[in-house]
Amino acid sequence: MTDKSIKTLTVDQAAEEAADLRPQLLEWGKQYYEADAPSVEDDVYDRVYARLVALETAFPEIVTPDSPTQRVGGSSRSDLPKVTHDIPMLSLGDVFSLDELTEFDERLRGNVDTPFDYNCELKIDGLAISLRYENGKFVQGSTRGNGQIGEDITANLKTIKSIPQTLSRPLTIEVRGECYMPKAAFLALNERREAAGQAPFANPRNAAAGSLRQLDTRVTADRQLATFMYNVADYEPLTTRTQSGLLDELAELGFTTNATYRVAHDMADVAAYIETYQARRTELAYGIDGIVIKANELPLQRSLGATVKVPRWAIAYKFPPEEVQTRVLDIEWTIGRTGVVTPTAIMEPVALAGSTVARASLHNPDYLIAKDIRIGDTVLLHKAGDIIPEISQYVAAKRPAEAKAYVIPTTCPSCGAELVHLDDEVALRCINPRCPAQLAEGMNHFASRNAMNIAGLGPQIVAQLFDRNLVQDVADLYRLTTDQLLTLDKFGEKSAQNLLTAIDNSRNNSLERLLFGLGIRHVGAKAARSLAAAFGDMASLMAADSEQISAIDTVGGIIADSVVTYFANTQVHELVAKLQAVGVNMTYTSGTPATNSTSEFTGKRVVLTGKLQELTRPQATEWLEQHGATVTGSVSKKTDLLIAGEAAGSKLAKAQSLDVPVWNEAQLQAAMDETK
């Protein structure tokens, strides 16, 4: 892209430059909208796109039908059902300065005879969605797609807690808004992906898009997506006639709306709002990339209409990227508990977006090679999604003459074992089960809050335990003595006793905590609970095959294969035996009653299947477990009762073939009422 003034270009020169820009923008757009894997930063795309818009505005005769400026969003996936938007879902025009925003205001007010206000809203960094309700019931949800045709993602949207299934009034209406991934969920997801050897998502927006367009609803449900709704296809069913009032009315109907909106009377109010949230963006629990300014009167919006691509009554002010330069001092490789070896750039500390940054993950060897980051390079640093420090590129003009391409290691920096690629992963792994770095990371995970919850056992203490050869694996924790702990730095009698008490208490944890703590690949806290509840004890799970495990509702083939592979390892058998020998509980106890009282469900194995009308599955599960039942996901000879809702399928047939008693939801409700 040239920086040459458009005023100096001829038509032929403008056409030639535009012809160069269009395929690049189309490719970037495909990566962003369809693959959810952008290859350039947003501001790079925005800058090139703005240049193409300027060229086509100055020379309308060079506009082509396939130009990115004539499209909304991207294509839809071929493997998802299609939804036609009767009223198109348009994207917004962008401005990048207050001067451009003032031009928009002057242009709009020049076309309107009466004074009007704006409504200012945060521009959420997510994926546009549409929700259709009939008589107050949620019937269909879709993506924007290309503005005319989107993707049907109803099943996935039903897993998102902030989307009401029933409205507070029986309206037939189409509501539009943004689905996003909160910052905390994004961080946790990328940590899980990197531990599994998968490429991390570039930012929360792409993580949300990738999660929503899954064919497996269980994946979507696990990713903690959220929504803010802010528009309707037609405002006639509502009582309000302003954009600010629309947000309030949507909240009354049961939607989650963003309460930070502000009605602005003039550009001074708009500028103040922009200044406030540009300064506060890093404090928010979700990502924003700008401010949306809309004419507040809904009838005015309708009368102003839209161009082929954007509404005339709204504009998006995009925040400038906060990017700083710093120098790479070293590239450090760290080993996670699953053996993934990750490169990290160690940099000269620099202030960025409210914090001092000295490290940035380079994710995996392919990423490092693609970015061509070298020791000594001056690099441009930003925070992806306002959260994760990320190097966008090196500054070519400042590269030292002696800088050489970085050589990817072939052996583990901790144990020296050969590094390998597994199953076409992007990550390098150390597969030595006795690797000290992996063992230490595994012990940190074992002691963490959601696992065995051993308070006071942090990374520094774990490192000392390994350095002094006091432990070789997690089972050795239960053999530690006061005298041994007193040899550690800053340990006295009281701190030693507190840690030993915490370790001792963890022996009694329910099986799911132990399963999660063992760090079995792909087995998170939820899957661990499902496995523990389904099989009841460690021995039964270790003896199960992949088919038996994958029959559990919330467990798929990938998890099942991983569990079977894990327990096929003789070293794992030895570790489990050591844990059992030191008194660590091997049974599922979370489903037992909190009191000594008994009920007809005490000690029973119960399976839920089909769709319940009055209860949710979690509500029924919680009640049954509180009354002594163990709720499992698969029917077997050990099952004592099947509770079948509507559209019960293979589990009902299997229960009948095994003569397992079957209840309907009414019978469960009667038992619950009797207990009351």
123 catalytically annotated = yes
What DSSP letter does each residue of 157-195 carry, written as one string?
A: HTT-TTS-SB-SS---EEEEEEEE--HHHHHHHHHHHHH
Q: What does the H/E/C string look like for 513-574?
A: HHHHHCCCCCCCHHHHHHHHHHHCEHHHHHHCCHHHHHCCCCCCHHHHHHHHHHHCCHHHHH
318 carries a ligand binding annotation: yes
Distance CA 384, CA 379 (A): 15
3-state secondary structure (DSSP) of residue 82 = strand
With beta carbons less than 8 A apart as the criterion, state whether 200 and 181 touch: no
566 carries a ligand binding annotation: no
- Look up residue 492 and give its two tokens: 């006295």
Rounded to a whole number, what is the largest CA-CA distance in the chain? 88
- Look up residue 648 and give its two tokens: 């019960």
Helix, strand, coil share (%) of the chain residues, nearest 5? 40, 20, 40
Distance CA 445, CA 480 (A): 18
Distance CA 118, CA 121 (A): 10
With beta carbons less than 8 A apart as the criterion, state whether 646 and 668 touch: no
412 carries a ligand binding annotation: yes
270 carries a ligand binding annotation: no
3-state secondary structure (DSSP) of residue 207 = helix
44 carries a ligand binding annotation: yes
506 carries a ligand binding annotation: no
Distance CA 368, CA 345 (A): 10
449 carries a ligand binding annotation: no
With beta carbons less than 8 A apart as the criterion, state whether 494 and 595 touch: no
- Tell me the sheet residues that pair with 117: none
286 carries a ligand binding annotation: no
179 carries a ligand binding annotation: no
435 carries a ligand binding annotation: yes
| Long-range interactions of 1-9: CB distance < 8 A, separation 24+ | 1/47, 1/48, 1/51, 6/54, 6/55, 6/58, 7/58, 9/55, 9/58, 9/59
426 carries a ligand binding annotation: no
42 carries a ligand binding annotation: yes
430 carries a ligand binding annotation: yes
Task: State the catalytic residue, choosing from 7, 30, 123, 309.
Answer: 123
Distance CA 431, CA 385 (A): 33
676 carries a ligand binding annotation: no
Task: Provide the residue count of the chain.
Answer: 676
Count of CB atoms situated within 10 Å of the CB of 170: 11
Element holding 464 (H helix, E strand): helix 459-467
3-state secondary structure (DSSP) of residue 253 = helix
Residues placed in the known binding site for Zn(2+):
412, 415, 430, 435
Residues placed in the known binding site:
42-46, 91-92, 121, 144, 178, 294, 318, 412, 415, 430, 435
Active centre residues (catalytic):
123
Residues placed in the known binding site for NAD(+):
42-46, 91-92, 121, 144, 178, 294, 318
